[in-house]
Each structure stands twice: as C-alpha cells, then as structure tokens.
Amino acid sequence: MRRFTIVTLGLLFILSAAAAQAPPPNPVPIPFSDVHKGMKGTGYTVMSGHAVTSFTAEVLGTVDQGATQPRMIICRLEGSAVSRTGVLAAMSGSPVYVGNRFLGVVAYSWAYSKEALCGLTPAEDLLAVRSRALGSRGMGPGVRPATLSDFISGLKATCTLSPPLSAAASLPPARPGTETVSRRLADAGFAWAAKRADRNDPPADPSPGKPPGPGGMIGVQLVSGDVQFTAYGTVSWVDGKNFLAFGHPFLNLGSVQMPVVAARVVTPVASFQRGFKLCAPEGPLGMVMEDRSTGVYGRFGERAATLPVSLTFRGPGLADRTYHFSIVRQSQITPFLLNGAMAALWSALEDTVEAKNVLLTDFRLVPESGREIRMQDQAFTGPQALASASDFVSDAVNLLLNNPEQAVNLKRLSLTVDVQPGQNAYSVDTAWLGRPAIAPGQPLFLHVRLKDYQGEARDVSFRVPTAGLQPGRVSLMIGGSFQLLKTLAAANPQRPRTGSDYLEFLESIPSNRSLVVAALDKGQALILKDRRVGGLPPSIGTLLGAQPMGAAAAPGAYSLVWTRVEGQKQLVEGSIELDFEVKETGDEAR
C-alpha cells in the first residue's frame, strides 16, 4: 500500500523572501540511474505573490518499486523556514537542479513528518510526458473516474483546492442511496468559491496573465466564473509555449482540455498534518492538454473548450440574479462538477436546512449539433429539495454525455431556479374503480385520492376509455410522472439507439407536477407515443430518482393502451396499480 501523499497540486515551502537566482536555461536531465546519496541541489518555488525564490535539497536516496509505483528521489529540504514548517501543499512541480542539470521536481510528501522530506519525480520521467505528447497527440484517455467516489479519491490524492467559501458545510444529511457531490467534496477537505453576482451579464474575460517560468505558479480551473474550483501547482519546465507541471497526475484523465490561469500566492498556511499555500486565480494562461502519471503537459496561449452554464436564481427577498460559470468538458467529471457548482452557489445564497419548494424552469440544453431542447418544469420539495434539483440537472447532462449509445456534446446550458419556503407535495393516497369488470365500451370511472403534505385530501376522477379494449385483464398505473416512468422504463428491453433519441427522451419527460394514468394490456411490447421506451439504461433510472435497474427483474411485456397526464399545482409522489376485467360480451357505450 502506498504510504506517501502526493503533494497536492504543488508542494509548497515557507521560504525566505530573498530573491533567488533564476533556474538554469535548457538543463540536461540527470538519469535516474546516476542519482546517488549526498547529491545537493537548488530548487525553485513561489512563497508570496509571484516572486520565485530558492531552497536547497539534499538527496537521501532513491526508491524504485517496479512499474506499478512511481520512482522517487528522496530529498531533505532546507532554507529559511522549511526546516520549521516542513513541506507544504501548493508546490508540486517545483524544479530541483544540481548545477546546470535537471534532477527532478517536488511531487510527494508525508503527513506529520518531523523533517522537511519529500519525494522528487525524476526529471526523465517528467519529460517523458512531453515526449509522448509531442510524438502522439491525442493519446487517448487515462484512468477515467467511473464513480463519484473515484473522482473524489483522485482529487484527495492530487490536489489542494481554493479554500473558502465552503459549499457544503451546512447541507442537511444526504437522503439514503444518494451521493451529494458538494457534501462528499467538503468531507474530503475540498471547498468551492462562490460569489454574488453584481450584474446579470456574463463577466468579462480577465486580462491574460504573464506565462511563468520554472518555479512559477499556475492554477488549473475545473470550474471558473461566478463559481470557482481551482487546483494550484508549480511549473516544472518551459520550452517556448510548452510547459510541464506538477510532477504527478492531476486526475490522470489522459488527453484533456483544462483551462490554466495565472496564480498569486496570498500566504502559506502551516499545519502539523500538512500545510498548504493559500492562492488566488488571475488571468488566463493556456490549457493542460495531457494529464498523465508523472505530470501534466500544456501550452500557453491556447484556450480550452468549456461548457458555459447560466443559472438564474430566484428566492424570497432576492431580486433575480443570473450567475455564469464554465465547466471543464470531460464526460466523466462534467456532471459531478455541475452538481457541486450548483449546490455551492445555492449554499452561499440560501439556508439549506429548512424545507423548501424548488421549481426548475426554462431548463435549456443546446447540443453542439442539432436543435435546442427545453425540458419541462420540474418540482422538488422538502429538506432535500436543493440537492434533488442539483441531482436531476447533473443526471440529465450525464445521460447525454455518458449514455451507452451515442454521446451528445453540449454547447451550453441554462436554467432558472425558483425557491420558496415550505413543503408542498401531493402523495397518491389511494385509488379505486367504479366497477371491477366491464364489457368493451361500457363507461368506467377511476377515482384517485391525493393527500396534501400535512393537509387535507382531495379526490380526482377520470373517465377511462374502454372502446376497443380486448377481453382480458387490463392494468391501470396511477402516480407521479417519475414513479410511473420508472415502472414503464423497466417493462421492455428496448432502449434509445442514438443521441437524438436521448434528447427526445429528455424533452418528453412530463412535469412531475402531474398525475399520470396509464392503461396497459398484457401481450405486446410496450409502446409509448409510438415508440418503444422500456428497458432504458440505468442512467435514465438515475435521472428519474431510481436505483439502477440492471439488477431488477423486468416485468412481463405490456401493450400501452393509453395515457393521460393531468397537471397539478404541486409535485405528485407515489404510485398505485389497479386491475380490471374486460368481459367477452357487452354493449359498447353510446
């Protein structure tokens, strides 16, 4: 088991403010096999503002544990306050030289160490990232996070993020069976920065920063704009516009596009466990293009493609405010980041403990190719309303990016969120039929009792169309739209086959402020709106608030006879199933 800690996006040292000589130009890498105990070198980092200062490093030995573990050069660091504070986070990638030769870059440390000890990634291992990038552009993915836990574990191993504001510290307990992104990130020690918008227009792009040299600071922005999620590190090597940094993987995503910004060190913060450097992002610099096991490779002056998001927030006592932020385009992590960014913003603006009614309106998804779709309004209520709304939006995006058939890349996303205090929802309390059996064409009435949350019940009645029904047993499914769609989706193994199918599916989801009644006859495969929709992949079940359906036994095949959607003033939850018999004989209703 690996016992060292990756020095989160830049190991940092508290050093003297004395100016240091510049790193040597065009250094020749020292082969790992030539490194030996007793070698002494000089390293470079930033301790305040943008000024690069030096420290000393003495080699204690090397560690090579085979192909599954990184090679390391173990060093003791000295200089100014390093002996007192130890190795601090925010300086991964700080280069170390022996004379005019390149020894390696600071990359690993050990919590609670009594000495300022670190592990260097050998120079030749770092430079291998550059060779691969230049020799074979678009090398493909690295180790992609398959779950939220994988994503957070990768962050915990590799990055220190922008401290206050904490996005999830005040969120209520997560509902069973779900993972709240911002909460999980907060529990892992990461935080978001969210700010109030002074205007509804998108913020102007900041002025470009000056590209730093070796030892200078950079930030990799997973989320930028009115919500920020930035990881900081140190530049290790520069050749014209090309650069290497970190000395270890960021998220090991392989070929990517992640925005890089200039970074300013506000102050180092010492800690007995592991200190860190408090940083602030500045203007854009370029982008990371490769995220590999021994470092990241990028280019200054390039612009990464991101997903722009506009979110208009409405709440009691607040004027409408629109927030603009952009998210890294990477199919596995974009939905996680969208979820966390939304929760961070709402947490900064609203009390998240009190029960609320949250209404998502004007939810627009604009694909890179094809027409814009607008999803129907959806409502969420109770103490978990904000988290549920965030889950719904991020799950919709996840369905488009990661469905098993054809990815749908998005150009932009916009949404309006109305939040009001209280808790309003109808539950389907009971349902009954006017008679248990009919002849084809005879009138039949369905009665449904809806119970308001902590309120009175109300009855709704429907006339059930019976003309043309075949003799036999017919099932009536009555309930909220999400519950009913989950049942229908599991009824048949057919699924969408193209990206357009998934877009149409999202657009066709009725508002959950509806009572839906569906009549189904056993026999043929399920048909909904002239299309087979059953057996949808687990990602659709997740979107509708279901657990993945792969492990559940699929019910028998049904033929959908008709559906009816009745709009209600508030969310409808729960479902009931009734059967009635169609007799062999009988007069049709006049």
Q: How far apart are CA 95 and CA 10, in angstroms?
A: 11
Mean pLDDT of 444-456: 88
Of the pLDDT bands very low, low, confident and very high (cuts 50, 70, 90), residue 122 is very high
Q: How far apart are CA 65 and CA 429, in angstroms?
A: 63
Q: Name 1's Cβ contacts closer than 8 Å, sequence gap at least 6.
A: none
- Per residue in 170-207, pLDDT (tens digit) is 233 333 333 445 555 554 445 555 555 455 556 666 66
- Per residue in 525-563, pLDDT (tens digit) is 333 333 334 445 566 667 766 443 333 334 445 667 788
Residue, of 490 and 452, whose pLDDT is higher: 452
What count of Cα atoms within 13 Å lies in the side-chain half-sphere of residue 330?
A: 30
User: Buried (b) or exposed (e) across 457-485, using 16+ Cβ within 10 A?
Assistant: eeebebebebeebeeeebbbbbbbbbbbb
For Cα atoms 477, 582, 563, give the angle at the middle one, nearest 5 degrees. Answer: 30
- Amino acid present at 15: L
Helix, strand or coil for residue 5? strand
- Per residue in 13-26, pLDDT (tens digit) is 333 333 456 898 88
In the chain the first and final C-alpha atoms are separated, in Å, by: 78
Of the pLDDT bands very low, low, confident and very high (cuts 50, 70, 90), residue 161 is very low
Q: Name 332's Cβ contacts closer than 8 Å, sequence gap at least 6.
A: 144, 145, 146, 151, 253, 402
Give the pLDDT score at 483.
Answer: 76
**Size (the chain), residues:** 590
Mean pLDDT of 332-354: 80
Q: What is the mean pLDDT of the chain?
A: 78
Give the pLDDT score at 453.
Answer: 82
Burial label, 306 (beta-carbon count in 10 A; 0-12, 13-18, 19+) = buried
CB 425 within 8 A of CB 570: yes
Global model pTM greater than 0.85: no
Mean pLDDT of 150-174: 39
Res. 296: pLDDT tops 90: yes
Cα distances (angstroms) measured from residue 176 to each of 186, 384, 551 = 18, 11, 18
Of the pLDDT bands very low, low, confident and very high (cuts 50, 70, 90), residue 270 is confident
For Cα atoms 53, 56, 58, give the angle at the middle one, nearest 5 degrees. Answer: 160
Residue, of 497 and 375, whose pLDDT is higher: 375
CATH 2.40.10.10 residue spans of the chain: 5-135
Dihedral of CA atoms 569, 572, 576, 580 in degrees, nearest 10, equals: 30
DSSP 164: S
Res. 123: pLDDT tops 70: yes
Res. 75: pLDDT tops 70: yes
Mean pLDDT of 233-245: 94
Give the pLDDT score at 439.
Answer: 87
- Per residue in 374-424, pLDDT (tens digit) is 999 999 988 888 888 998 999 999 999 988 888 999 999 999 999 888 888
Work out the number of other CB atoms within 10 angstroms of the CB of residue 426: 25
Domain 5-135 homologous superfamily, CATH: Trypsin-like serine proteases (2.40.10.10)
